[in-house]
């Protein structure tokens, strides 16, 4: 069964830039998919469309059968969590309050006016924090944590939502190699243990090869590769990272030699 179904999606921004040019794909429930591609290939736009943060110019995205559009956005987002490159935490709130914002989709605005949460939500938030190993930081302010820790809070917020899908938009791009490894391991473990469908945008080819079940390669708004990590050869990488109008790309060869 496919968790996410993307049907002939294209996206043109108001400034005329065509970020996506006809994307069709299905993402299996409980799978771990990595989207690879150069900056500006449309990876982020694709992920943001799945969460309804952008609306497609043509085509549609379905999550578990429901079309992502204005009407049921809140309902859909309650099942689709997002992890961001810049973490997107509310700096001034405590770690645990940030995690609790993952519960807001399930609760009406009445309690929220008084910043009140249910006891059960607190339990869920504590469990999520212990999953990412940050129980002792629960009452620190989010901006007092290191980058790696903040990203783990981001993942705990996603877990607190008890989602079917987690979308991660370059979750390790702002982190050092060790933290990156931790975050990827955590996402992989969440996928395996909870059966949550994970889609990750990445820049690091080696991480993609090691963690993914499936790799989708994108270049200038199109899918140029779709297959298992084993199928990602040097020539595939050349296709994914090639740049328009540059024939003998030295930078490309150098970069891929060590990938």
Partner 1 sequence: MTTVSTWRWPTPDGWLPLPLVGGVLALLAGLWLTAPLVEVDFVRLFGSVGRMIDFAGQMFVTPDWSYVPQLLEKMLETIEMTVLGTAIAIAVSLPLGILAARNATPHAVVYRLTRDLLSLMRALPELVWALVFVSAVGLGPLPGVMALAFVTVGFMGKFFAESIEVVDPKAVEGVRAHGAGWLQVRLFAMLPQALPDFVGTVMYILDHNLRAAAILGLVGAGGIGYDLVMSMRLFQYERLLLIALAIYLVVTALDRASDQLRSRIIHGRRQ
What six digits make up the tokens of 166? 């987690």
We find the least distance from the C-beta atom of residue 111 to partner 1, in angstroms, to be: 10
Residue pair 60/68 in contact by the 8 Å Cβ criterion: yes
Distance CA 32, CA 221 (A): 21
Tally of CA atoms within 13 A in the half-sphere of 181 that contains its CB: 2
Residue with tokens 């998919």: 33
- Kindly give, in sequence order, each residue whose CB lies less than 8 Å from that of residue 252, ignoring residues fewer than 6 positions away: 238, 241, 242, 243, 246
Shortest distance in whole angstroms from residue 3 CB to partner 1: 17
> Which residues are at the interface with partner 1 (CB under 8 A)?
51, 53, 74-78, 81-82, 84, 86-93, 97, 101-102, 104-105, 107-109, 112-113, 115, 141, 144, 154, 157-158, 161
Q: CA nearest 184: which of 221, 163, 209?
A: 209
Q: Which is nearer to partner 1, 48 or 209 (CB)?
A: 48
Of the two residues 31 and 94, which places its CB atom closer to partner 1 in the complex? 94
108 or 235: whose CB is closer to partner 1?
Answer: 108
Distance of CA 42 to the CA centre of its chain: 13
CA 53/CA 43 separation, integer angstroms: 13
Nearer to partner 1, 62 or 107 (CB): 107
When the beta carbons of 39 and 108 are compared against partner 1, the nearer one is 108
Task: Name which of 105 and 252 has its Cβ closer to partner 1.
Answer: 105
Q: How far is the CB of 201 from partner 1 (least distance, A)?
A: 14
Tell the smallest beta-carbon distance from residue 115 to partner 1 (Å).
Answer: 7
Measured distance CA(120)–CA(230) in Å, rounded = 43
Closest distance of CB 211 from partner 1, Å: 22
* Least CB distance to partner 1 at residue 83 (A): 9
């Amino acid at each position: 069964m496919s968790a996410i179904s993307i049907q002939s999606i294209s996206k043109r921004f108001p400034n005329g830039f065509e970020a996506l040019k006809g994307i069709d794909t299905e993402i299996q429930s409980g799978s771990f998919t990595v989207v690879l591609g150069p900056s500006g290939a449309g990876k982020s736009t694709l992920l943001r469309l799945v969460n309804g943060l952008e609306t497609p110019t043509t085509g549609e995205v379905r999550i578990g059968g429901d079309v992502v559009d204005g009407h049921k956005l809140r309902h859909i987002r309650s099942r689709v969590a997002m992890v961001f490159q810049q973490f997107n935490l509310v700096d001034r709130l405590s770690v645990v309050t940030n995690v609790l914002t993952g519960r807001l989709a399930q609760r009406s605005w009445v309690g929220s006016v008084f910043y009140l949460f249910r006891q059960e939500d607190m339990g869920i938030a504590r469990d999520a924090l212990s999953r990412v190993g940050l129980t002792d930081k629960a009452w620190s302010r989010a901006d007092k944590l290191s980058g790696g820790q903040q990203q783990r809070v981001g993942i705990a917020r996603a877990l607190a939502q008890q989602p079917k899908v987690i979308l991660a938009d370059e979750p390790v791009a702002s982190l050092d190699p060790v933290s990156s490894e931790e975050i990827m391991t955590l996402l992989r473990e969440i996928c395996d243990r909870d059966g949550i469908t994970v889609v990750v945008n990445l820049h690091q080819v080696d991480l993609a090869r090691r963690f993914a079940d499936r790799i989708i390669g994108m270049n200038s708004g199109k899918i140029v590769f779709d297959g298992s990590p084993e199928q990602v050869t040097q020539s595939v990488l050349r296709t994914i990272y090639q740049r328009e109008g540059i024939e003998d790309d030295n930078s490309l060869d150098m970069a891929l030699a060590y990938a």
